[in-house]
Structure 1
Amino acid sequence: MKPNEANRKRARARRRILQALYQWQLTQQDPADIARQFLGEHRLGHMDLDYFSEVLRGVTAEVLTLDAAFDQYLDRPARTLDPVELALLRLGTYELRERMEVPYRVCLDQAVELAKAFGAEQSHRYINGVLDRVGRDVALRKTELAASKG
């Protein structure tokens, strides 16, 4: 598969992950049931299925850790965030922390694009600012870890 096609499939997977996380946040339905529902309703060849499944499972399993990673950068309590913003922060934070093969800028750019498509009018700026700070923390920890091993 060509790199551009792989990137498009992953972008489509992110869109579906956002929608699945939104549903999970509102219904508290089992994430595995939500994944099966999404995989049954959408054209499977048009997205990165492995990425969808792995990231959805990872975000829902690590939600408390992810929330703690970005909470310090919020200007209000997380419980008052718009559900789309909260889902995007969880998705972006997971990618920044756990999917090191995804470049930092790609994580931010994709989250911003999803915020523009699904979020409130200026939510993309808020998402970008918070995830940028999370990304800097992740980069700093990686540097410190490498220095301690070296």
Structure 2
Amino acid sequence: MKLVSRRRARERAVQAVYSWQISKNLISDIRYEFIEDANMLGVDTNYFCDLLFGVVNNIIKLDDLITSYSYRKINELGQIEKAILRISMYELTYREDISYKIIINEGIELAKIFGAEHSYKFINGVLDKTTSAYRKKIKI
């Protein structure tokens, strides 16, 4: 149950981060809209909130990491790919309790669900490079 509810939390977090990126609304308003939505049944809402606020509160560091390991500027990425990478980078850098293998797999699956046809390959490459360089450096 925990795995399914976390996957759903990631899916909803991608949608919420995407909404925030596009609308520039207050993150607290976006959180409220999503929490009140009936589609949150079966979602780990605490984890959803952790991802959402974690991304927003650490956006500069996350975007710097994405740029470093993707060799593309953050503004050159599609909004969905950007949202997926921001969430995955947050998990890689701040959620040491989650295996990098799970994070990479979830990022790929999110890209297959929400991204362009081959965006999962790009997401996989960026997350793999980040894991190889960043997580090994800090010995996670």
Give TM-score scaled by structure 1 length: 0.88
Q: Which has the larger radius of gyration?
A: 1
Residue in structure 1 matched with residue 127 of structure 2 by the alignment: 131
Measure the CA separation in 2 of the matches of 1:11 and 1:82. 22
**Residue pairs, 1:34-73, within 5 angstroms:** 34-73=30-69
Measure the CA separation in 1 of the matches of 2:99 and 2:22. 30
Measure the CA separation in 2 of the matches of 1:70 and 1:7. 26
- The count of residues paired between Structure 1 and Structure 2 equals 140
Measure the CA separation in 2 of the matches of 1:126 and 1:33. 31
% identical equivalent positions = 34
Q: Deviation at 1:80? A: 1.5
Q: Indicate the larger mover: 133-142 or 64-73.
A: 133-142
RMSD across aligned C-alpha pairs, in angstroms? 1.4
Measure the CA separation in 2 of the matches of 1:37 and 1:19. 11
Give TM-score scaled by structure 2 length: 0.94
Call closer, same or farther: CA 1:123–1:26 in 2, change over 3 Å.
same
Measure the CA separation in 2 of the matches of 1:130 and 1:40. 33
Contact preservation (8 Å) 2:31, 2:49: yes
Note the residue ranges of structure 1 that are not aligned, 5 or more in a row: none
Q: Which letter does structure 1 place at the counterpart of 2:117?
A: E
Contact preservation (8 Å) 2:66, 2:74: no
Contact preservation (8 Å) 2:14, 2:87: yes
